[in-house]
Amino acid sequence: MDFLPLSHYSNKFWLMHKGDVNEEMALMHRRMAERGYKSTPQRDEIARWVFQTHDHFTVEDILEDFRKDGKKISQATCYRVIQMLLQLNLLIEHDFGRGVRFYEHTPGHPHHDHIICNECGQIFEFQSEELENLKESICQKNGFSMTRHNLSIYANCNRCTPEEKAEKAKKRRY
């Protein structure tokens, strides 16, 4: 069991991957070409944002940043590009039961599970080989071929003080 260095505490781990963004863009363009998707400035702009973000994000997060930067890309396009990235297997979708869909890009981001703090809303990631093997073997034994899985553990973290929790909970939009 390994806890990844978490983007919420420090995103050093992921920043080491910064150089990958161009690689991921190239990968995307290859897959787009294969499937007949055309390359457009909007798609590139959104994809670059996505590949640069090493955290769980919502569509609103993208739009907010674009508004701040004065970039005008419509909401509809944004949703459509996210759908495309999902189709190209460059993104995965999470539903943490907060009424919004969260996304994270997959290239360079190995499978992991999530722990969501009930109190402060922070999303933590962890990996457990043992857990992965167990899931796989449960499926195999019972005649399922697993395509993806999603373990969300809701818990109370001991990472912040009650005061910090209250403050973070207040700031949470979702």
Partner DNA sequence: GTATGTGCAAAACGTTTGCAAGTTC
Partner DNA sequence: GAACTTGCAAACGTTTTGCACATAC
Judged by the rule CB under 8 A, the positions of this chain that interact with a copy of itself are 1, 3, 93, 95, 97, 115, 117-118, 124, 126, 128, 130-131, 134-135, 138-139, 141-159
Q: Do residues 48 and 21 make contact, with C-beta atoms less than 8 angstroms apart?
A: yes
Closer residue to DNA (CB): 83 or 133: 83
Coil, helix or strand at residue 59: helix
Residues 22-41 that bind DNA (CB under 7 A): 36-41
Q: Rounded to the nearest whole angstrom, what is the least distance from the CB of residue 61 to DNA in the complex? A: 10
- The radius of gyration computed from the CA coordinates of the chain, to the nearest angstrom, equals 18
| Residue 38, phi then psi, degrees to nearest 5 | -85, 155
Q: Which residues contact 122 (CB under 8 A, 6 or more apart)?
A: 8, 116, 157, 159, 168
Q: Which does 174 bind (CB under 5 to 8 A by kind): DNA, a copy of itself, none?
A: DNA
| Among residues 11, 58, 106, 127, the one that binds DNA under rule CB under 7 A | 58
